């Protein structure tokens, strides 16, 4: 099933996004997929057609400052959780997505969780794949150092950075043709690296994670946590223990899967999401 690539102006900025649509009419609400650090919407390339095949319109944007979306200069855009969450709302409004299910992954998926907790009326179901859910969650040093002044400014310009992060997050080798797509933003311009540096420097993960943890304790809609059990940065045992405080949450350990489940083993992600999103409530 083909994936459409498109750009839409939302507020001040242009968002790049991918979209896969089911064949024929479907009454199912759409799914919005939000990616983690260093893994733009391309990382959902296998999951989206799989979900479209079972009747879900699937939409995956590149966050502002990443991939093929607009990359504002750091002096013009703060790259904070608040700013990125606000811009996400503009994107969803531009696509006229009033009701949808949300799937988030990774550290920048935390911005999507912040949005969901602030706009519960728009989210039908929420699925979390290896993203911060606690005030105790931390960035690994290989990522946190990217936000250090001067040092980080240099490190984020290494075109091999996607190799180090994507393959370091799970131990699987990413095929060359796919890794070339992840490397392209670094080869084309230094803008994406500068935006990544600002995003990590402004992440303030302890407070953001604590807010997410408290918010999920009051979540009353269907909630799935599907966790790669080989994630070296957000351990599955810790995530499962934290999730016990979330009312009605379903927890699934994805065996032999790392920090980027959609990249490591997309079939397991499709299976988990298909069951969760089609289940009667």
Q: Does 2 or 46 have the greater pLDDT score?
A: 46
Q: What does the pLDDT average to over 181-198?
A: 92
For residue range 58-68, list pLDDT tens digits in order.
Answer: 999 999 999 99
The pLDDT, as a whole number, for residue 231 is 96
The pLDDT, as a whole number, for residue 180 is 94
The pLDDT, as a whole number, for residue 1 is 67
The pLDDT, as a whole number, for residue 172 is 87
Domain ranges of the chain: 4-135+205-278
202 contact partners, CB below 8 Å, separation of at least 6: 78, 79, 80, 81, 147
Does residue 171 carry a pLDDT above 90?
no
The pLDDT, as a whole number, for residue 188 is 86
Tell me how far CA of residue 74 lies from CA of 79, 80, 96, 202, in angstroms. Answer: 7, 11, 29, 11
Q: What does the pLDDT average to over 187-216?
A: 95
What is the phi/psi pair of residue 19, to 5°? -145, 135
CA count, 13 A, side-chain hemisphere, 228: 27
Q: What does the pLDDT average to over 128-153?
A: 95
For residue range 225-275, list pLDDT tens digits in order.
Answer: 999 999 999 999 999 999 999 999 999 999 999 999 999 999 999 999 999
For residue range 37-61, list pLDDT tens digits in order.
Answer: 999 999 999 999 999 999 999 999 9
Counting every residue written for the chain, the total comes to: 281
CB 103 within 8 A of CB 200: no
Residue with tokens 């379903």: 250
Tell me how far CA of residue 143 lies from CA of 198, 207, 248, 280, in angstroms. Answer: 12, 18, 32, 39
Q: Which class is 4-135+205-278 in CATH?
A: alpha beta
Helix, coil or strand: residue 261: helix
């Amino acid at each position: 099933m083909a994936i459409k690539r498109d750009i839409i102006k939302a507020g001040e900025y242009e968002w790049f996004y991918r979209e896969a649509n089911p064949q024929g009419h479907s009454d199912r609400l759409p799914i919005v997929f939000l990616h983690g650090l260093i893994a733009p919407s391309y990382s959902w390339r296998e999951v989206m057609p799989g979900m479209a095949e079972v009747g879900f319109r699937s939409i995956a944007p590149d966050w502002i400052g990443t991939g093929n979306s607009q990359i504002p200069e750091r002096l013009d855009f703060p790259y904070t959780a608040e700013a990125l969450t606000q811009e996400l709302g503009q994107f969803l409004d531009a696509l006229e997505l009033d009701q949808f299910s949300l799937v988030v992954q990774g550290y920048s998926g935390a911005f999507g969780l912040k949005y969901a907790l602030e706009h519960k009326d728009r989210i039908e179901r929420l699925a979390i794949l290896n993203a911060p859910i606690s005030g105790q969650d931390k960035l690994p040093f290989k990522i946190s150092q990217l936000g250090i002044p001067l040092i980080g400014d240099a490190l984020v310009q290494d075109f091999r950075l996607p190799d180090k992060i994507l393959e370091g997050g799970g131990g699987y080798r990413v095929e060359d043709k796919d890794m070339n797509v992840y490397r392209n933003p670094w080869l084309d311009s230094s803008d994406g690296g500068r935006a990544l540096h600002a995003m990590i420097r402004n992440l303030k993960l302890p407070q953001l994670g604590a807010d997410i943890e408290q918010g999920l304790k009051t979540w009353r809609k269907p909630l799935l946590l599907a966790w790669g059990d080989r994630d070296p940065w957000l351990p599955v045992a810790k995530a499962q223990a934290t999730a016990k405080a979330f009312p009605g949450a379903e927890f699934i350990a994805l065996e032999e899967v790392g920090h980027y489940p959609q990249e490591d083993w997309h079939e397991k992600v499709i299976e988990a999401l298909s069951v969760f999103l089609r289940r009667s409530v």
